[in-house]
Each structure stands twice: as C-alpha cells, then as structure tokens.
Chain A
Amino acid sequence: MSGMRDHNRNSGILSGILAVRDLRILFPTRDGRDTVKAIDGMDFEVRAGETFGIIGESGSGKTTLGRALVSLLPPSHGQILHDGTDLAALSTSAFRKHRRDYQIIFQDPNAALNPRMTIIDSVVEPLEIMGEGDHASRHRRGIEVLERVGLAAEAADRYPHQLSGGQKQRVNIARVLTLRPKVIVCDEVVAALDVSIRGDVLNLFADLQREFGLTYVFITHDISVVSHISDRIAVTYLGKLMELGPAEDVVERPLHPYTRALLSAEPLPLPSHLRVDRRIILEGEIPSPVAPPSGCRFRTRCPSVQPRCAKEVPAWRDVKPGHRVACHFATADGPPPDNQKAQRAS
C-alpha cells in the first residue's frame, strides 16, 4: 500500500488541493428567459488531507458545487483549480488522465449501481475505462478493495439487489477507491442509510482517509454528521458561501446569523430538563435562485436584518484568522443580535 501513499503525498500540500475562484454556475430556465444562478460567486480552498464539510438547505447549490468540483459540470465563470491546474486548460487526454484523482460518491446507493452488473463488474469498471492492467489484475484489485471496505469476497458475484443499503454504499466507496483518487466528493452519502449503520460507514470513511491520505469534501444537510467528521465547514445559502471556518468554531460559535439559525433548527434527542429553548425559527423558505434578493441574499429571512443589507452585498471577509463570513455586522464575538431580542431589551 505504500505506493498508494506516495502517489497521494506528491503535491497539493502547500496550496489547496482544490481551489475555487469566483465560481459561477448558471443554468437557463426551461423557457430560456431566465437564468438559475445555482452558484453565484464562491471563493474557497480545500486543503490536502482534510475533510471539508459543506452544509446548507436544499436549493443552496451544494450538489451543483460538488459536481463542479469533480468536473461533471463546467464553470460558467471563474475557475476550479485541481492542485493548481486549471482543468479547462488541459487537453482532452490529459483531462481524462487527471480527473481520476477527483472522484464523487452519490446519495442513492441503488441508483449508482447498475442492477444488471455484478458487484465486482461494477467495481472494476473504472479500471477498465482507464485501461489499467489485464482482466486478472483488475479482478484481484477489485477483490482487494471490496475486502478493504468490509465486504466479503462472496459479495463480488452478487447483484446490487442482494445487498443492503449500507453494503451498496460500501460498494460505491470501493469503486472509487480502485482508482486511488486524491479527493473524494461525498454528496449526502449517508442520508439514505439508517442511523444504526451510518456510524459504521462514517467510521470506514475516517479509516480510509488515514490509510490513503484522502481529502474529502463532505456535502450534507445533516449538521450532526458534518460537525462530527469535518475539519472545516462551509455554509452555503442560495449559491453563495455565508461562513467558512474550523468545524468546532462554526458549530459552537457561529458568526453568521444564518449559521446560527440553521444550527438551532437541528432537533436534539435530549430529555426536556436538558433542553434549552435556543431555537431561532426562520420564517419562510429559501428564495428562488432565479431572482435572489439584492444585497445580502439571506436578508429576507434574517432576524438581524438592517437597511444596509438590502443595498450592499456583504464582503467575503476574514473575521478571525481562518474564519470567514459574509455579513456586514458579524464580528469575532459572534453574529449581530436578533432584532426582536434587541427591541425587547431596550
């Protein structure tokens, strides 16, 4: 396995292994008259070897971002650099060779596997596509990774319907591991699994990261999952980043009013005497990405909104070292006070 390690350690340590520069991804609406701004200006870097968590509501651009990071979607504007290389500048053959380092695992373990292919055929297919080795060596490698993700060799000749959801997700992990990628984007990979087996699959992700020096981009709406496994967390809202910082800071001491409200909505399994009423109910739902609000896009639901928020787009600024936020009024001490609470106090 040492070869695999060297392969991963060569580069990407100094700068981000993934760098996103002013990224915009736009889709035309079906009638062609409007534009959906799925990603509307994002800047961040993912460091080699870290787990980078992305949280946000549906419609905030999480999945689009994940697909763009592994070049399944071209940027409409801006750049995505893999290890300093702009993929748009690569020739087709160089691009094919390069993208194997950047893999993605999807939410639905059923939809990601062909029901007519045996497990081993699905697992070695990426190697076939890359034209690696002969049939026997590919098969050996496939069995090896299946065992590594905790599936017995008997599973190899089964079909997807004969496995449980958790086992199928392990197969999907095995399939991307065959390519020895550097970065794996995990898009809601445990959302479809029962809570009782989620832990097992997340533990496997952590083990594989230690063993192979993998970098993860973990996209999820489950705050308890993302706060458990991430080194840093980014919070998305309507195509933009609201906050980015060390996981513990973002979860324990959020600086953006949106992060604060999002975290407070997470239902906690606590008995009533340990429950504190800290919930901030956000009114309404996420606005349409066709016509996002002017200025700060969270202002229509923000409990701390001020007149300035409608006029000016907040800068994406460092409030603390390594902790960025897009809010005019956030400080290193926390988000601006709730308008209602401030009124009651005065």
Chain B
Amino acid sequence: MTGAIDISAPTATRVAGMPDAGVSPQPLLEVRDLSLSFATARGALPITRNVNFTIAPGERVGLVGESGCGKTVTGLSLLRLLPPQSARIQGDILFNGTNLATLSPRRMRAVRGREIAMIFQEPMSALDPVFTVGDQISEAYRIHFPVSRAEGRERAIAALREVGIPAPERRCDEYPHQLSGGMRQRVMIAMALICKPKLLVADEPTTALDVTVQAQITDLLRSLSERTGTALIFITHDLGVVAETCTRMITMYAGEVVEDAPVDDVLTRPRHPYTSGLLRSLPSLSPRRGVLASIPGRVPSPNAMPAGCRFRARCSHAVAGCEQKQPMVESGNGRAARCWRAPELVLPGAVN
C-alpha cells in the first residue's frame, strides 16, 4: 500500500453492526442499520436492508456489486439526495457524530458539498451546459464561504490546477461542451474537492472513460485523498479499480452488505461466495480461450427476496441451513462476511 493510511488500524476492531469497542479512533462515518425503501403504487419496495459500515478519516473504501445491488442508492442516501417524497430512510448515518438521517434540510445543505461531496458517472449530465466551468466550481465554494466573485474565480483556477488541467486560467472560462470526457470528470473532482470535504463519494467516476484516462483519474483521486486526507467511497463494479485505489472493499448483494474486508485480504482469500464469484468472473483469471467463469442466475427482484441468504439460489456452496437468517460473521483483521459457512469454506480469490 502506497498510502499514508494504515489499513489495519482504524478497521481492525470495527465490524459492521458491532458496537464500537472504544479502542479505535472516532470513525468519520458510521452507517447503522440503514434500510431504504421506495414508495410505489403497490406499497413500499425495500431496496437495501440493515446496511452497516464505518469509514475512518482518510480511508478509501470500494463499494462493489452487480447492478441493482444497492450501491448507488446507498451513496445517494449518505448525502440525502434521494427524492424525499418516495424514498424512506431508516437507520442512522452518523457523520462525525451528527445523524444525517434526521438532519433538517437546511442543515443538510450545509453538509452537502462542504463536508461530504459526490461525483457521478456521467460528468456531462452533472455539469450545467450554460455556465462556464469556472462559474460552477466557484459557486460550489461561494455557497459555503462568503468570498467575492474574484476570489471565487481565483479558487476555481487553483482547483483546476490541482486536478491537473493545463492552462486553468483559460479553461476556467470554457463551457462543459468544450472539454473532453476526462477533462469534465476532472472539473467534477475540482468542484467536489474545492471546499476540502472530509468525505468524497465517487459513483462509477471512471466507467464512461477510456482505460488510459481512467488510469489518470484513479491516480488523481488516490493522490488527492492521500494528500488532503479526504476519505473516499468508491462505488464501482470494476474490481481492478478497487484494487488500485482503495484500502478496503465492501461487497453488496441484493441490498445487503455481504462482505467487508481489507482489499489485499479479500482479493487473496474472499470469505463470501458472492465476492469469490465476482473475482473469479474476471477474464484475466481464466486460461486464454478457455471457458470463463460466471455466476449463474441473476439478482433476485426487490419484491421477491428469498428468506435467509439472498445469494443462496446462485451459490454453489448452498446447503440446508442457508435459508436461516445470516448475520455478518467476523473473522479477525477487521473482516466480516454474511455467510454462516465462511469459517469452513476456502474460496478462491483473484490470485491463482
């Protein structure tokens, strides 16, 4: 690990759902029993159930899983960006001890962008096409700090320089359509980090980019996080990106956290069959032109969740007993997996 962050320290004693033993430093973010549901014409549709995790200051955590596992809604709920008319949030989102889940909308606005910022997959739809990027970055700052337009502009230029945009004085006055996809994502990062937030939620920030540009952006996010101490939640389906950017990985399946572990440990020896399945599905692990591994079936629909282990219909290790309620099973070194067979199973990871 190249980072300044010691991955074993803040996470070692903290396991999802377990009360803080008091030996670790105060976590930056503590999500406790977060359950989300959406109101529909046919009643409440549960999306996530009892999601628990903590993020230490400066920690970089990858949130992975297939589409429809609840990664994005979990990220959005941290900033309370879900539509209040239809989304119901239960549980606690403790940020530096403040419960964001019950904060008034006005106080929540003071947190958004200032304490927690977010960047999205498609920068073009997140930027306003009729304002210059400099105006938009400066607005993000001036909402939270009473500075003049001139100073806002200076700060925007500095922020653009910080994220590696050449000729920032000129770029500052350009409109989003004049920038390439990679540049726009840099602008989004500049905007997200201008107030020096303590936590950045990045939702698939490199999925729409080419690998060469993706490498530039993930390197940038990692070095900015190391330099400024901003913690990072990296929502992605790309396990390679997690391995290169994060120190810890949380796997979600069908609206639940199923595994939480330091990245190096989980890549070598996953404890949940779903994590193992995801890792084994990567083509680089199968012999060239050989049969590729995959996970049979699909994620169950939110209104037809099976009891007990939600992965069991797709799991090759399922036995009688998996239909029982599955708690997170701890296994030391800050690891836990939602599988009662985890202690006995030896599952393959990303290393042959």
Contacts and interface: CB of A to CB of B under 8 A. Distances in A.
A228 B281 contact: no
Interface string A179-199: 000000000000000111111
Nearest to B236: A267
Given A197-B298, A248-B288, A269 B267 contact: yes
A196 B294 contact: yes
Given A198-B292, A202-B283, A224-B284, A261 B212 contact: yes
Interface in A194-216: 194-200, 202-203, 206
Contact of A203 (B182, B210, B294): B294
Nearest to A277: B2
A306 interface: no
A196 B281 contact: yes
Contacts of A271: 243, 263-265, 267-268, 350-351
B155 to A, nearest CB: 25
B291 interface: yes
Interface string B284-295: 101011011111
Given A194-B66, A195-B237, A227-B288, A270 B214 contact: no
Interface in A214-232: 221, 223-225, 227-229
A224 B293 CA distance: 14
B291 A203 contact: yes
Contacts of A248: 288
A251 to B, nearest CB: 9
A203 B292 contact: yes
Contacts, number: 132
Contacts of B298: 164, 166, 197
B211 interface: yes
B240 A223 contact: no
B351 A270 contact: yes
Contacts of B183: 285
Interface string A274-293: 11000101100110000000
Contacts of B63: none
B210 A57 contact: yes
A276 to B, nearest CB: 12
A130 interface: no
A223 B1 contact: no
A301 to B, nearest CB: 9
B241 A267 contact: yes
Interface residues of B, number: 49
Given A196-B295, A266-B240, A271-B267, A223 B281 contact: no
Contact of A262 (B212, B264, B268, B289): B212
A269 B211 contact: no
A282 B46 CA distance: 44
A268 to B, nearest CB: 5
Given A195-B281, A198-B281, A228-B289, A266 B210 contact: no
Contact of A270 (B218, B237, B350): B350
A305 interface: no
B240 A228 contact: no
A198 B256 CA distance: 23
B169 interface: no
A199 B351 contact: no
Nearest to B264: A271
B283 A228 contact: yes
Interface in B251-304: 263-265, 267-268, 277-279, 281-284, 286, 288-289, 291-296, 298
* Number of chain A interface residues as a range: 35 or more
A29 interface: no
Contact of A199 (B212, B241, B292): B292
Interface string B224-242: 0000000000000111111
Contact of A273 (B181, B239, B264, B288): B264
Nearest to B210: A57
B46 to A, nearest CB: 20
B216 A281 contact: yes
A228 B212 contact: no
Contact of A228 (B241, B244, B286): B286
B210 to A, nearest CB: 4
A164 B216 CA distance: 33
A206 B215 CA distance: 30
Contacts of B292: 198-200, 202-203, 228
Contacts of A281: 215-216, 219
A247 interface: yes
A285 B294 contact: no
Contacts of A200: 292, 294, 296
B331 interface: no
Given A206-B289, A269-B240, A270-B243, A199 B215 contact: no
B108 interface: no
Nearest to A288: B180
Nearest to B314: A196
A92 interface: no
Contacts of A206: 289, 291
A137 interface: no
B295 A197 contact: yes
Contacts of B182: 285
B213 interface: yes
Contacts of A247: 288
Contact of B210 (A58, A166, A199, A275): A58
21 contacts: A166-B298, A195-B281, A199-B281, A199-B283, A200-B292, A203-B294, A206-B289, A221-B210, A227-B288, A228-B288, A228-B289, A229-B283, A248-B288, A265-B211, A267-B238, A267-B240, A269-B239, A271-B265, A271-B351, A281-B215, A282-B212
Given A195-B278, A271-B263, A274-B351, 18 more contacts: A58-B210, A194-B67, A195-B238, A197-B294, A202-B292, A227-B288, A228-B288, A247-B288, A265-B215, A266-B211, A267-B238, A267-B244, A268-B240, A269-B267, A271-B243, A271-B350, A282-B216, A285-B183
What 6 A-B pairs come out closest when comparing CB atoms? A267-B240, A199-B294, A199-B292, A271-B264, A196-B295, A228-B283
Interface of A: 57-58, 164, 166, 194-200, 202-203, 206, 221, 223-225, 227-229, 247-248, 261-262, 265-275, 279, 281-282, 285-286
